[in-house]
Amino acid sequence: MENKTSIFAKYSFFYLILLVLFALFGLTSCSDDDSRSKTKEQTQSLSSTAPGSSDRQKPHSTAVPKTEYIKTSLDGWEQILERGVLRIIVPYSFQHNNILPRDSISYVNELKLITHFAESHNLTPVFISTKEFSSLIPSLQQGLGDIVVANLAITEDRKQAVNFTNPVSHAIEQLVVAHTFNKKISLEQLGALKIGVMPQTSFWETITAIKAKQTDIQIIELDDSITTEEKFNKVTSGEIDAVVSDSNRLVLFQEYRKDIKAIINLGKERPLAWAVRKNNPELLKKLNRYIKTEKLLQHLPDARLGDLDSIKKHRQLRLITRNNASTYFMWKNQLMGFEYELIKQFAKEQKLNLKVLVATDYNQMFEWLEQGYGDIIAAGLIKTPERANYAVEFTEPYLFVQEMIVQRNNEKAILSHKDLHGRTFYVRQSSSYWQTLTALEQQLKSDGIEFLIKTVPESMETEEIIKEVLSGNYDLTLADSHIIAIEKSWHSNLQASLALTGERGQRWLVRKGNKLLLNRLNQFIKKKYKGLFYNIINNKYFQNSRNLFDAEKRDSNNKSISTYDDLIKSLAQEYHFDWRLLAAQVNKESQFNPKAKSWAGAKGLLQVMPKTAREVGIKDLDKPENGLRAGVKYMAWINEQLSDELPADVQVWFTLAAYNAGLGHLKDARILAKQKGLNPNRWFGHVEKAFLLLSKPKYYKRARYGYVRGTEPVSYVKSIQALYELYSKKHPLEA
């Protein structure tokens, strides 16, 4: 296999092919001669191969009969479900772009989100592109599509025409000039700049408002069909002095264009959202629910690529792992896992907080590490030739395992290679099992022994594959011996037969060049391996797992979170919360004990103060329903006090922080965040930092609501987020 020093380099050709396909599959091409053409139809749906899409998405038919979607219709949600197609209006540049897309870029993430939304409702997403930005909303109103996905800023004028979803992203309008531009200007005095702007855009509103105060500005009306690339070319050629761009779009072009720069922010951060027709409230409701859930699950920490010295400066070690029974999981509402406990101990000894990131699949783990979202991968990986080509460093081994054949107990054991003839293995292609089997396949062909190797989705854990084998859906699979040890606690019909490898060492991975972290991890492994702490947790998970896990309760552990799930779901639906988030909050507050009582007198499942309960009209907090309803009503009240133009996820984190510390302290923290140059509309890395400062006299003496122990709301939100992520993986929402 060719060398790979970058995940993106690995996939760049793949993305390029996709972009070409997007252009080729349009029913009507948009040539230079047709640059003023109206809406263009696109038959190729973005399924699991869309830029940024994950393999959790189930592919649908890419060939949709033209009559199914091209006709004008003002269908509501039920009619959309009946036809089985969601028509998505997008700007031409969203689909026809010669730039390598990145998941961090807003429009790529929007396409990924809307594609998954459609497919989660068994709808085929059909993209309808329009050259002219001004025709996006009219096309929606005329019934040429069902939704506009286009980085649309929410403005008062647009709100009169369409309904907007919860924000999917935010951006600041920026003035963009050529890199050689060196005039001294300010927002208050732009001078006689020639600024190019398209009419009927939020940019036009912004610049005309500025011109009303600064009459020497020259507004150059740009053609409605001009691309962002062409706008920037007009600037660099000197035809105009400046254009306006959203900050999140500009990032994309600055990845490869060094001839432009942003010099001034033209206003505050603005929410960007999707638009639906006024006659489709049910679609709006479905989209808002989906956006809120997805935004909560998409949270990644700020990217940083530093070594251990940088990690210590930020006082946080970020672990990238998977959700399975040998690495990181929840059992009886406790976070557990062999890898998790080892890394948690390492973080403790280094005086670091531990942040856990659970990847969707194995490729994503490497992407997150390379992009700087995490510092270490701990997921039971061995060093293979393919993985050694990534931009990573491997630690010394901390656990030795064999790869063994897993089969059902009621069939003849496989004792030699000849017993493999005619059998079929099911494994992930990214796993070391795939490489073991493909090498063995070539080796045995000369002896006339043939078997099949079939791939399973990359998101499937080995324990899930084993379950499919034991149910008879799959024939055979491979698994590491330590995973088998755990699974035998659950399954009496599991048989581990022939070992296909000798013992091989599992290792942790860090970014290439992070020598300080690598050396410290190796020292930790050398010190702990086979020591008391190591042996205790090794025995806990792999030797005595029958004592740790109650096999009879595994199904209930996977199917429910608590005995109060139905009650939590009911109230979550009534007050428009994600029930899994509320369950995580109840776990944090009371560990599902309705009789719990805090030192301060808070009571019930959500630990509500009796005075607060009376204010929301609830008594007798010891009753599960009362204790829960009081807390949820109070959460809903807090949520109503916050701007609905906040990002959907931020609104939730702010609500939780205010629930824990009080709405007044949240207001103080947001004001302080702005004073410190942080973003008052973001929680992680911004307002949470301000909360920590409010426990210091220098800051709380000047705050309206005074002192607050800032570590409590910060820890509170982090704990609930971690629980929520695990609950969400085990308990997906119904469409």
pLDDT at residue 113, rounded to an integer: 86
pLDDT band at 145, cuts 50/70/90? very high
**Does the structure show a pLDDT above 60 at 39?**
no
The stretches of 143-197 forming alpha helices (DSSP H) are: 156-161
* pLDDT, mean over the chain: 84
Whichever domain contains 282, its CATH number is 3.40.190.10
- Is position 261 within any domain? yes
Q: Which two tokens stand for residue 477?
A: 């699979």
Active site residues: 589
Residues 527 and 638 in one domain: no
Identify the residue with better confidence: 446 or 39: 446
**Does the structure show a pLDDT above 70 at 52?**
no
pLDDT at residue 57, rounded to an integer: 35
pLDDT at residue 694, rounded to an integer: 94
**Does the structure show a pLDDT above 60 at 418?**
yes
Q: What is the C-alpha to C-alpha distance for residues 314 and 626, in angstroms, rounded to an integer? A: 41
CB atoms within 10 A of CB 616: 15
- Is position 2 within any domain? no
Kind and range of the H or E run holding 262: strand 260-265
pLDDT band at 70, cuts 50/70/90? low
Most confident of the ranges 58-62, 111-115, 531-535: 531-535
**Does the structure show a pLDDT above 90 at 298?**
no
pLDDT at residue 671, rounded to an integer: 96
Residues 638 and 663 in one domain: yes
Percent of residues, the chain, with pLDDT higher than 70: 85
Residues 262 and 340 in one domain: no
**Does the structure show a pLDDT above 50 at 16?**
no
Strand partners, 316: 353
Asked if 629 and 571 touch (Cβ cutoff 8 Å), the reply is: yes
pLDDT at residue 490, rounded to an integer: 78
399-401 and 504-511 strand pairing: antiparallel
**Does the structure show a pLDDT above 90 at 349?**
yes
Residues 612 and 721 in one domain: yes
pLDDT band at 43, cuts 50/70/90? very low
Percent of residues, the chain, with pLDDT higher than 90: 60
**Does the structure show a pLDDT above 80 at 449?**
yes
Q: What is the C-alpha to C-alpha distance for residues 208 and 283, in angstroms, rounded to an integer? A: 34
**pLDDT tens digits for range 177-204:** 999 999 889 998 998 899 999 988 889 9
Q: What is the C-alpha to C-alpha distance for residues 222 and 224, in angstroms, rounded to an integer? A: 6
How many domains are contained in the chain? 5
**pLDDT tens digits for range 467-496:** 999 999 999 999 999 999 888 877 889 999
pLDDT at residue 42, rounded to an integer: 37
- Is position 439 within any domain? yes
Residues 21 and 104 in one domain: yes
**pLDDT tens digits for range 74-132:** 999 999 999 999 999 998 766 555 444 443 445 567 888 899 899 889 999 998 988 88
- Is position 121 within any domain? yes
**Does the structure show a pLDDT above 50 at 38?**
no
pLDDT band at 589, cuts 50/70/90? very high
Decide: helix, strand or coil at residue 268: coil
Residues 49 and 95 in one domain: yes
| Region 627-631 average pLDDT | 96
CA-CA-CA-CA torsion for 608, 638, 282, 723, nearest 10 degrees? -60
pLDDT at residue 103, rounded to an integer: 39
pLDDT band at 641, cuts 50/70/90? very high
* Domain final position from 248, 267, 286: 267
pLDDT band at 547, cuts 50/70/90? low
Residues 34 and 150 in one domain: yes
Nearest residue to 251 via CA among 427, 365, 144, 107 = 107
| Region 343-364 average pLDDT | 91
**pLDDT tens digits for range 210-244:** 999 998 999 999 988 788 888 999 999 999 999 99
Residues 236 and 255 in one domain: yes
Whichever domain contains 705, its CATH number is 1.10.530.10
Identify the residue with better confidence: 553 or 610: 610
Residues 108 and 86 in one domain: yes
Q: Cα Rg for the chain, rounded, in angstroms?
A: 28
Q: What is the C-alpha to C-alpha distance for residues 97 and 109, in angstroms, rounded to an integer? A: 15
Instruction: Indicate yes or no: pTM above 0.85.
Output: no
pLDDT at residue 94, rounded to an integer: 64
Identify the residue with better confidence: 582 or 156: 582
Q: What is the C-alpha to C-alpha distance for residues 485 and 402, in angstroms, rounded to an integer? A: 12
**pLDDT tens digits for range 245-267:** 988 778 777 767 889 999 999 98
Residues 149 and 292 in one domain: yes
pLDDT at residue 546, rounded to an integer: 58
DSSP state of 647: -
Query: 56-60, 106-110, 444-448, 662-666: which has the minimum mean pLDDT?
Result: 56-60
pLDDT band at 318, cuts 50/70/90? very high
Q: What is the C-alpha to C-alpha distance for residues 583 and 574, in angstroms, rounded to an integer? A: 15
Identify the residue with better confidence: 48 or 404: 404
- Is position 358 within any domain? yes
624-642 as b/e: b if 16+ CB within 10 A: bbbbbbbbbbbbbbbbeeb
Asked if 567 and 550 touch (Cβ cutoff 8 Å), the reply is: no
Which structural domain, as residue segments, surrounds residue 449?
403-502
pLDDT at residue 111, rounded to an integer: 84
- Is position 302 within any domain? no
pLDDT band at 555, cuts 50/70/90? low
Residues 512 and 496 in one domain: no
- Is position 559 within any domain? no
Residues 590 and 469 in one domain: no
Sign of CA dihedral 366, 375, 693, 652: positive
DSSP state of 118: H
- Is position 560 within any domain? no
